[in-house]
Every structure is written in C-alpha cells, then in structure tokens.
Amino acid sequence: MIVAGDIGGTKCNLAAFEEHGTSLQLVARQRYATGDYPNFEEVLLHFRGDLRKQAPAPTHIRAAGFGVPGTVVNGRLYSFNLAWAVESASIAAALNLHAKDVVLLNDLVATACGLDKLSPGDFLPLKQGIPDPQGNKAIIAAGTGLGEAVLYWDGQGHRPAPSEGGSADFAARDERETRLLLFLKQNLPRVSCEDIFSGRGFRKLHEFLDPTVSHSTFGEPAAVSASEITHNAIDGRCPVCVEVLDWWIDAFGAEAGNLALRVLAYGGVFLAGGIAVKILPKLKESSFCQSFANKGPMTEILSRIPISVILNEDTPVLGAAYRALAVAGAANSDSF
C-alpha cells in the first residue's frame, strides 16, 4: 500500500492506494483541518485509525509521498505558510517506514507529477491556444499561499522543477497598483507576490479600496476573509467585493503571464489551488487571459499559450503517490 497526501496551511488531504503494477487504485481518502492538530504526525495517526475502519484487513505500507507548501531540503520542509515542522524521518517513524521510503516534495511539483494521471474532464480550458507538445509547461496555484512550478522538456519528456516564485517582489503595473504597493508597505517591510495572490490578499485589496466598508470576517485573520469576499462578489452583494475580485483576477492573470515569460511555457499554463476553482464563474468571463498576454512585444506569442484550470483537487495527492510508488519500485530493484 502507498500512502500519500497534500499538506496545506488550511487542510490536509490524505489517501491510501493499492498497488497494481505501475498503477494505483484508491482505497481510502480523508480530509483533515490543519488547525485541528499540533503536528502532522498526529494527522497521520488519525488517518491510520480511519484507514483501519475503511480497510479492516491488515495492510502493509511500503512507501509514502507528500506534497508540502514550501521548499524541501534534506528531507525537511521550510515553509512560511505552515506552523508544523515536517520532516521525512518523523513521518517515517509515524508510519513504521525507513526515512528513504518517504518522499517529501514541493506541493506544486506534486501537482506537476500528477498532471499526466488526469483525464480530459479534470481540466477546464480558459483559452485553447496552440500547444507545443515539447514546450515547457507552468503551474501556478493560489490558495493559502502562492505556488509556482515548471515542467521543462528534457528532450524525452517533461520533468518537474520547484520554484519559490510566490516570494518574488510584487510589481505594480499602473498608478493604482503603485498606490496599493505604497499602502501595503505601511505595514509590510516587503511586499511579495504571495501577499496579493493568496487568500490573505483579498482583504488587503478591500481595505485599500474602501476602508470604511467591513464584513463579518474582518476581525479574523486576513486569509479567512477570502471566502466571504469572493462569495459577496459572485453574488453581487457588495460593490467593493466585486471590484476586489475583478482586480485580483486581472492582476493574477498578469502574474501568470510573468511566469509563462520566465519559463517560456509554450506547452501550456495550468491554474491549480483552491481559489481558482472557487471563482470559476467570474474567472471564465474575466480579463484574466487578456492581462496574461499583455506583455508588450511578447503579447502575440503569449496569446498562443493554452491556459487551463485543474479541477481535480487530488492532483497533488496523485503526483505524490506515484513518486512514492517509484521509490518503492526502486527499493525492490535494489533488493535483487
């Protein structure tokens, strides 16, 4: 059996899979609220208990893989969006595995690894474009944080590579965004892309546009307000919320276009993360694609790049599971 998961600042999606050669079959899946647990090992213990209820027959876990929100160095996660210390050695102990049988990888890399396991119905095209089958691909995901990754063509296939693009400096495009930047710098020593293009960015935009308008979640952490603001915007209940969402989508499109420029993502750009799926009604009719391609002399080239939303939230779980399966297969090969 392979255990895999997507560890996030808000939730953890965990799953168990049976091995069938080079394929995996889902046995069980559970979602846990990150804030309900003091550490990830407690989540794993809870999951193992739930797994025994769903699959009462004795099971042997051979390997595990987890997508995590940040940079992984020597089996340890370095993250700004997760309070837990996450290390492969402690995870291995919780699952009765050797540390070499636990794979920790950036959550966007996990998503990249899961792309080819999806069906056409798991994607919603925002722009068909003209895909280059051997071109690089890019993934950008807005949620609790902002993640970016690239799938580069190595001559035979696409290989995923991590990025911390969310920590890059936010670049203002016009006079309004320049004023926003100055507004944010009153309280932030440095304004990153993630400060805008994540859940906590919505309230920042709202407070900038009209500090006299408040909503029920504005007394809670900024990230909590994202859901209320987007719902108000989609339902048209608050003009400020409508303006926030329209602006956020337009600016997010520009950042996705920046990523496409940096990696020359002629094979396509994919939007992942929880926010894109939640705002689909607005995203489909927005200026996202126009701001994505609006890059001066590169506009014509970027306008050809396909853009799709990944609808399957289990994509990083699948990617992590198949990476763990590869580790288990390598261990078997070494034993002969």
Predicted confidence at residue 236, as pLDDT, reads: 94
**pLDDT band with cut points at 50, 70 and 90 for residue 243:** very high
pLDDT per residue as tens digits for the range 255-299: 999 999 999 999 999 999 999 999 999 999 999 999 999 999 999
Predicted confidence at residue 56, as pLDDT, reads: 61
Q: Give the domains, in start order, of the chain with CATH numbers.
A: 2-107+314-335 (3.30.420.40), 119-310 (3.40.367.20)
Judged against a pLDDT cut of 50, whether residue 23 lies above it is answered with yes
Predicted confidence at residue 332, as pLDDT, reads: 56
Beta pairing partners, 3: 16, 64
Judged against a pLDDT cut of 80, whether residue 333 lies above it is answered with no
- Are the CB atoms for 310 and 271 separated by under 8 Å? yes
Structure token pair of residue 283: 């995203």
Predicted confidence at residue 55, as pLDDT, reads: 66
What is the biggest distance separating any 2 CA atoms in the chain, rounded to whole angstroms? 70
Average pLDDT, whole number, for the chain? 92
pLDDT (mean) for 146-166: 93
pTM over 0.85: yes
Residue 17's nearest CA partner among 318, 330, 327 is: 318
pLDDT (mean) for 4-28: 92
At which residue do the structure tokens 């003009």 appear? 239
**pLDDT band with cut points at 50, 70 and 90 for residue 136:** very high
Helix (H, G, I), strand (E, B) or coil at 96: coil
Instruction: Look up residue 170 and give its DSSP letter.
Output: P
Q: Which of 72-81, 107-116, 177-186 has the lowest mean pLDDT?
A: 72-81
pLDDT per residue as tens digits for the range 185-227: 999 999 999 999 999 999 999 999 999 999 999 999 888 899 9
φ/ψ region of 298 (left if φ > 0, alpha if ψ in -120 to 50, else beta) reads alpha
Predicted confidence at residue 336, as pLDDT, reads: 36
What DSSP string runs through 253-317? HHHHHHHHHHHT-TTEEEEESHHHHHTHHHHTTSSHHHHHH--GGGHHHHTTS-EEEE--TTHHH
Instruction: Look up residue 56 and give its DSSP letter.
Output: -
Judged against a pLDDT cut of 60, whether residue 38 lies above it is answered with yes
Residues 6 or more apart in contact with residue 142 via CB below 8 angstroms: 197, 198, 199, 252, 271, 273, 274, 275, 276
Q: Which of 162-166, 211-215, 228-232 has the lowest mean pLDDT?
A: 162-166
What DSSP string runs through 208-252? HH-TT---TTTTS-GGGHHHHHHHHHHHT--HHHHHHHHHHHHHH
